[in-house]
């Protein structure tokens, strides 16, 4: 099976508790289980991870460039602020990256409208809640 990394950034470990009106009631563990099930159906092995630490995400992006055929990334708030994650994705090329957000970042606060991930992602899926992860895996499976 081809491996795809699914990386999650800060505060996503609080899903199910944190602002359910915005982020829904599913936990990150629920989303991970859905990703593994969807990945298996697509012939992909999903390596699902979360960290609140920018450096860990950078390390995992670098690891993915060597160990995976694609990357699904929900960088959380780092999406809008992290040059380090931007540079890691750029350095991981040609690894295809799909950016995911549970909420529609373009319908929220203005600071969320700009993504440092987007310039090097093959696409972005936002606003569909946890389904966005499954859609991202489908997009990667079609691409690889």
Give the separation between CA 18 and CA 6, rounded to whole angstroms: 20
Residues in the chain: 144
8 A C-beta contact, residue 15 and residue 27: yes
* Per-residue tokens: 14: 């609080």
Q: Which of 23, 78, 120, 133 is catalytic?
A: 23
Of 127, 121, 113, 116, nearest in space to 139 by CA: 121
78 counts as catalytic = no
Tell me which residue has tokens 């359910």. Answer: 20
The single residue of 86, 101, 120, 133 carrying the catalytic annotation is: 101
101 included as an active-site residue: yes
The residues assigned a catalytic role are 23, 101
């Amino acid at each position: 099976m081809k491996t795809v990394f699914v990386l999650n950034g800060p505060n996503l470990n609080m899903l199910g508790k944190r602002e359910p009106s915005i982020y829904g009631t599913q936990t990150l563990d629920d989303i991970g289980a859905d990703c593994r099930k969807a990945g298996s159906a697509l012939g992909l092995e999903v390596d699902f991870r979360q960290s609140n630490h920018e450096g860990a995400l950078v390390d995992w992006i670098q690891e993915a460039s060597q160990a995976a055929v694609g990357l699904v990334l929900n960088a959380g708030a780092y999406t809008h602020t992290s040059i380090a994650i931007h540079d890691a994705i750029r350095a991981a090329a040609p690894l295809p990256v799909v950016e995911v957000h549970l909420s529609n970042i373009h319908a929220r606060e203005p600071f969320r409208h700009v993504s440092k991930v987007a310039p090097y992602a093959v696409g972005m899926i936002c606003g569909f809640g946890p389904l966005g992860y499954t859609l991202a895996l489908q997009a990667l499976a079609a691409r690889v």
